[in-house]
Structure 1
């Protein structure tokens, strides 16, 4: 009888363990959320501590922390804030919303290097005046570069968006070459054809030539691609030009009607003259 009781309790323990594991794994806090963005844009990593902590969180100043597997990214305890060096001036948690439960991390001017996994924590009071760090949410951030194909005619301008102040170089590959050449560096002064917009992250190449056709890449400090532009420089289609010329030379409907009426009157007069002559 004791053996049966022992086996029974072992079964109950395993059952509770498995059920507990399933409940925990199905919890929204254990799921890895995914956020995607493009270089230079703003990314919001969602976080809601009230759903996780309930009444355990402090009613006064909130202590929130965001970290990657390698290091802390951002931490805020009341009025005290700390940011990792590579995120200086780019990260924030909305202080006015934190008290109501919103602990989302906002990353401004996101970079390719920001791609990775982020975890949020709330630091709350524990037993014997100790602090306890409670896991809230895990978020995977994916940052992608910009890609586009553009077509211009000879003599037109090409505007290259740099997207971010972290863009430091533009390289060019001719369509018939496998080599890359440096076209622009951030410290460069404006040239006759290549000019940086004074107030925005844009670069203008003026008076395009057929030799400008190829691939342009905007790179950041790490040499990672911010954007890729494939440029085609082509004359306007000869067929299109011919069509436009024919449209200009083609008679209008009124002109066609007028010519038709004149021809009809002339035919009637000739026929009448011939009839009279025969009579």
Structure 2
């Protein structure tokens, strides 16, 4: 007989008192994570262990671990990268001490339910890897009510279905096969829920969504575009008016300088406009007012 010491935890099982709890339902999406919360309050948690109905499961306690089952907090369990085969019953054993020195064990029970959605092309063969040892029946509501399509011991209920190697196969998928399928254990608890959709139907929905988005974008662009055009027109007009005013003032100042300096040519134009006969042309009248009257109110220029 070997003198190697026996593991401590199995020995402690002989000394602990036990209390159980009702099963907790936990749902997760394939490829996602599921959290099995222990919500356990105790003065001191000595250890935990985790197992399914068929095997003990190693718990990763550091991020460097390459497994999929991790411990978080005092005793929460996280199952990462969920797979359909993860569905089923789990047990978490929590060993703890309160005020007493006696070691106690709390067993928490979980029912893990996995959900997935699959799009299938019409006429395609679809294999569902769901007929495991804990599966008792498969039901579908594709006809509007729940009907059994497979039961353990009786097999499939239709010639279009086959049961082999743990797979439930739908031969030549059609639109009538779309709907929700669920896998139940022998207690009637749901293990897996699958939503099967027609791939072409999804494409049509996508096209309709794109059309609606295009129409919405068109109605949104039209008023915004008109507003931008109006703003640009106003800005252009403002720039042109400012440029005309600047040029007008520049030429006016130049004429005033020449008039003040006694330039002969400028004085001749001034006299012909200001002392000549009145013209009925509005443009010439405006020019006459500016040339003849404005210098009276402008500051004098010194002649050079």
TM-score by length of 2: 0.37
Q: Which has the higher contact order (CA 8 A, sep 6+)?
A: 1
TM-score by length of 1: 0.40
More strand by share: 1
